[in-house]
Amino acid sequence: MSESHQRQLLLFADNASRYIDEFSREFADGYLELLKRQFGTKRVNANKVYQDYISNREHLHMNATQWETLTDFVKWLGREGKCVVDETEKGWFVAYIDRDPATIAAQEAKVKKEKMDKDDQERMLEFIQKQVEKGKKEMITEEPSYTEFKRENSQERLTLNINLKRKPEERSDLTKSALQAQKTKEESSSSKKKKIEEKNKQSALDAIKEMQEKARERANRKDHWLTEGIIVKIVTKSLGDKFFKRKAVIDRVVDKYAAHVKLVDDNVKLKLDQNHLETVIPSTGRLVKFVNGAYNGQNGVLKKIYVEGYCCDVEISSGPLSGRLVKGVQYEDVSKLAS
CATH of 231-336, one of 2.60.120.10, 3.40.50.1820, 2.30.30.30, 3.40.50.970: 2.30.30.30
Predicted local confidence at residue 165, as pLDDT: 56
Task: Give the residue, 95 or 189, on which the prediction is more confident.
Answer: 95
Percent with pLDDT over 90 in the chain: 43
Sequence ranges of the domains in the chain = 3-99, 104-134+190-220, 231-336
Answer yes or no: is pLDDT of 305 > 80. Answer: yes
pTM value surpassing 0.75: no
Which of 121-130, 147-156, 240-249 is the least confident region? 147-156
Q: What phi, psi does 153 have (nearest 5°)?
A: -120, 115
Predicted local confidence at residue 154, as pLDDT: 57
As a whole number, mean pLDDT of residues 145-173 equals: 59
Q: Which amino acid is at 7?
A: R
As a whole number, mean pLDDT of residues 186-214 equals: 74
Strand intervals (E) in 64-202: 83-88, 91-96
Which of 20-29, 175-184, 268-277, 279-288 is the least confident region? 175-184
Answer yes or no: is pLDDT of 11 > 60. Answer: no
As a whole number, mean pLDDT of residues 37-57 equals: 90
| Interval 219-261: pLDDT, tens | 889 999 999 999 999 998 888 888 999 999 999 999 889 999 9
As a whole number, mean pLDDT of residues 51-80 equals: 89
| Interval 309-336: pLDDT, tens | 899 999 999 888 899 999 999 999 999 9
Answer yes or no: is pLDDT of 38 > 80. Answer: yes
Answer yes or no: is pLDDT of 148 > 70. Answer: no
Instruction: Residues 3-99: name the CATH superfamily.
Output: DNA/RNA-binding protein Kin17, conserved domain (1.10.10.2030)
Answer yes or no: is pLDDT of 35 > 60. Answer: yes
- With beta carbons less than 8 A apart as the criterion, state whether 292 and 225 touch: yes
As a whole number, mean pLDDT of residues 82-99 equals: 91
Long-range contact set of residues 84-91: C-beta below 8 Å, sequence gap at least 24: 84/43, 85/46, 90/45, 91/45, 91/46, 91/47
Residue 234 burial by CB count (10 A; 0-12/13-18/19+): exposed, middle or buried?
buried
As a whole number, mean pLDDT of residues 13-26 equals: 77
Strand intervals (E) in the chain: 43-45, 83-88, 91-96, 231-234, 247-254, 258-263, 269-273, 277-279, 287-290, 299-306, 311-316, 325-330, 334-336
Predicted local confidence at residue 155, as pLDDT: 62
